[in-house]
Chains A and B, each alone.
Chain A
Amino acid sequence: MGLDIRWPIGLMFTLIGALLAVFGLAKGAESVSLGININLVWGAVLLVFGVLMLLGAIKGG
């Protein structure tokens, strides 16, 4: 059907992950839950997931 769904998934999670991670870095005090800068940590996880999806889409053609 012409669309590789990994493109939108990869782009969206890369964008949201980067946004969360930057927010976690910039506003550390507001991003802490139970002693963890959860925005930074989880933003990084989403960023890695998004990039892996994009790499799969690029490789898959």
Chain B
Amino acid sequence: MNWTLVLPELVLACVAMATMIFGVLRKGQDNTLLATMFALGGFLLAGVLVLNRGNGVGFSGQFLADPFSAFNQILILSGAALASILALDWNRAQGIARFEFPVLMMFSTVGMMVMASAGNLMTLYLGLELQSLALYVLAAFARDDVRSSEAGLKYFVLSSLASGLLLYGTSLVYGFSGTMDLNALRTLLMQPNAVSPGLVVGIVFVLVGLAFKVSAVPFHMWTPDVYEGAPTPVTVFFATAPKVAAMSLLLRVMGTSFAPVVGAWQSLVVIVSIASMLLGAFAAIGQSNIKRLMAYSSIGHMGYALIGLATGNAAGVRGTLVYMVIYVFMTAGTFGCILAMRRKGRPVEQISDLSGLASNDPILALALAVFMFSLAGIPLMAGFFAKLYIFFAAVQGGLWTLAVIGVLTSVVGAYYYIRVIKVMYFDTAAEPFDQRPAGLSFVVAATGLFTAFFFIFPAPIVGAAQAAASVLFR
């Protein structure tokens, strides 16, 4: 039973190790394409296995296989797959194509999958560290580039700090409750007078550590620099899969173990959420680099997603999960468009470089416009539904402050998103971009169609999120 439950993770880890051995054996040859294909195959295989895996509890409660973990794992695998497709051509063009890249992505993905199904604070930390170690290397992957090395180092230092805080929180929780099992903690906390001040401090530390990983304010400082400095495909990866994994951890820990003491942490999540929305909206206005703009935008989006957690009920979690799905696809698409910004073989990343894109390359401009309107939350685009479910949960839960600040910051956010569209459509044309690689076109088209036509048939995703959310806040 135990081994069949962890089969997807095992398979992906084995594929990663096999790819590594393969790459080492064929030293001196160009292995990137093959390694990426192995990675994509691994992601696909793991996804199929996740979908066919039964529900259950493995390794005496350390590992949970339920609809919630399956939902997040599929999303993590999709994000990773999109990022690896985008990375292939980019790394070649930048001369940093090495077979280690897909291998690291696979290891990091295994870590995230463990995070999504962690049933114990120890498993949680294990998955988190496996993910993070691979990510540090990925951030510094363009090792001859100062900005990339700086991003890697910065991420390493700050992320280690956060891991330390998380570990400290875990030890406090263990010390004051005597267990690290999430479900056992929940049972314990349901007793009256079970909450001691030390435990609350522990919960706050755990929350802070996880808030750092989703880059929520005030633990966001690393995000703009790492987004800007890391090679863009790595930024795509940072912006999608690890966010999902960290958010799923946050939901799982708060929604299972600490659900009985929702009053102890709810106000903290509310404050973090408001601060993220405000910073995401206002700090992005002054940005001229589109990667930095997306960094602040992702901070804001995490603020919206946290509203769902702040409600402290299953409807809110459903909102957050739907939000994460839509967020992953529209963000991957936006970065696909950013990766297409390349002139005479050199990447450009200023917003002004997009000037007049609508006349040079109407299809790319249309796709980016769809993503921008979606990120701004304008109806018919998927981003609107993401916000709709979140605000529905907030109003249902009576969190009016969050809801009002949320909608108003979304107007402020709309300003900088439509400014990108203004540059593309209203300004005079600059030099055209280079020919796009096919993989990039595929990712942009797939995510663009998803974003534009989500409204026609939202039921399957919302239904799956509903099933996943029902596991929490029982």
Please say whether chains A and B are actual partners in one complex: no
B binding-site residues for A, Cβ under 8 Å: none
A binding-site residues for B, Cβ under 8 Å: none
